[in-house]
Amino acid sequence: MPEPKRSGNQACAEAMRERAYQQHRDRLAATKPAVDTSAPESAAFSRHIGKMGSQKKKFNQVERDNQVLVERLVHIMNTKGGVDNSEPWRDHNKAVDSQRRRQKKQDTIDAENQRMLQRLQNAKPTYSSEKLKKDRKANEMHASRISRYPYRPMDRPEPEPDLVQRAQAEDDSEDDDYEVDERAQRTPTPPLPQRPPPQQSPPPPQAPPSPPSPPRAAEPPAPQEASDEEPEYEDDYDESESSAHDDTNSSREDL
């Protein structure tokens, strides 16, 4: 057995041992077990039979109180009190009251609509309807002029006759002017009058052809006599031969 440590003050040493022992016991009490050895929980142990019975009685009492309160309210609605506090001028007919309320609400709505209509009528327009109509007619006239077929606006099934006739009349006048100019360009200038050719006199009558003469017999050629004169050469020769002769002469001179 180990010997305790010696101390000069025995009372202080005893107090320190007591404090250490108490700390040891506190640590043991705070230590949790590693294995759960408690009894398993079940529904039988979690329910409280006595508490459930008291709650059921409480709910039944609340239901009875509510039923009594409803009966009292119904009795008050179906009967009148001992003192008549109703106003003599008020009509208690529900249908008449609802009709009066609807009529009052409708009158208010009608008054607001009238004020709104008055404001709309007094408001000045931003765009001029006359100017828009004028521009529309001008656009339709231009469209009818440049259209190959009769122009028909989408909002009207048939075109306005005055616009179509006016456009057709202008187109016809332009076509007539173009045809006149084209005809003037195509018409050739008349040729100058030519002199009539001189009248030729009729040829004189020809004499009848004479009958052919009989063929003559061929004469024998005359004998030729020798002479000292040089024969005469013909001067007729081709230009090509003369040019070739000149070229040969020039080449010889160069050599």
- The tens place of each residue's pLDDT in the chain, 255 residues long, gives 566 667 778 888 889 999 999 999 999 999 988 888 887 777 666 677 777 778 889 999 999 999 999 999 999 888 876 776 666 655 566 667 788 889 999 999 999 999 999 999 998 888 888 999 999 999 988 988 888 888 777 776 554 555 556 666 776 776 666 565 666 566 555 555 566 665 666 666 666 666 666 556 556 555 555 555 555 544 444 555 555 556 655 555 555
Residue 113 lies in a domain: yes
pTM of the model: 0.20
Q: Quick check: is 114 in a domain? A: yes
pLDDT at residue 99, as a whole number? 84
The reported pLDDT for the residue numbered 190 is 57
Q: Tell whether 104 is covered by a domain.
A: yes
pLDDT for 132: 92
Task: Confirm if 145 and 167 have CB atoms less than 8 A apart.
Answer: yes
- The answer as to whether 107 is a domain residue is yes
Quick one: which of 103, 105, 101, 80 has its CA closest to 91?
A: 101
Please report whether residue 248 resides in a domain.
Answer: no
At residue 240, the pLDDT reads 52
CA distance 190 to 211: 58
Range of the domain at 105: 96-123
Count of domains in the chain? 1
Q: Would 110 be classed as within a structural domain?
A: yes
Give the tokens for residue 68: 């009594």
Class of residue 6 by CB neighbours under 10 A (exposed 0-12, middle 13-18, buried 19+): exposed
Does the residue 111 lie in any domain?
A: yes
Residue 112 lies in a domain: yes
